[in-house]
Amino acid sequence: MLLQPVPEDRTVLVDARDLDPAEADYLASARIRRATVDGLDPAELPDGPLILHVDLDVVDPGELPGLLFPAPGGPAAAEVVAAVHRVLATGRVTVLDIACPWHPTDETRVQQARTDLLRALVAGQPDQTVSRP
């Protein structure tokens, strides 16, 4: 089997509502597709294989404590999970890229919230791989 790169316009960035200037500049000229959690509609995505990228800091920090880059006013974790699952259900996602930018902690409650969210995101996916920060 010959592996081939997925074109940039088949990369979908979920939400990304709090960008630094360099990120905003790059995305302004990139062919990466961006969609809000509410606006993530599989029918509007291109045919063929997709890369789906979600930074978990889009989740409202009141619901996901210890984020490195908290941005108040984000969607609930359940909304992010539902949006990701809408796209996964198409069967076209070749890569689910989950970024977990948070502070390390020994607090059981915080670790459990993070683990639960990661498990919910990859639930039902073959070859589930979760790497913890």
What 114-120 contacts at long range (C-beta under 8 Å, 24+ apart), as own/partner pairs, is 114/64, 114/66, 117/56, 117/59, 117/64, 117/77, 117/81, 120/77, 120/81
Map out the domains of the chain with their CATH numbers: 8-122 (3.40.800.10)
Are the C-beta atoms of residues 16 and 34 closer than 8 Å to each other? yes
Q: What is the pLDDT of residue 24?
A: 93
Report the pLDDT value the prediction gives residue 133, as an integer from 0 to 100.
40
Q: What is the pLDDT of residue 124?
A: 56
Tens digit of each residue's pLDDT, the chain (133 residues): 788 888 899 999 999 888 889 999 999 999 999 999 999 999 999 888 999 999 998 999 988 888 888 889 999 999 999 999 999 999 999 999 999 888 888 888 888 888 889 899 988 554 444 443 4
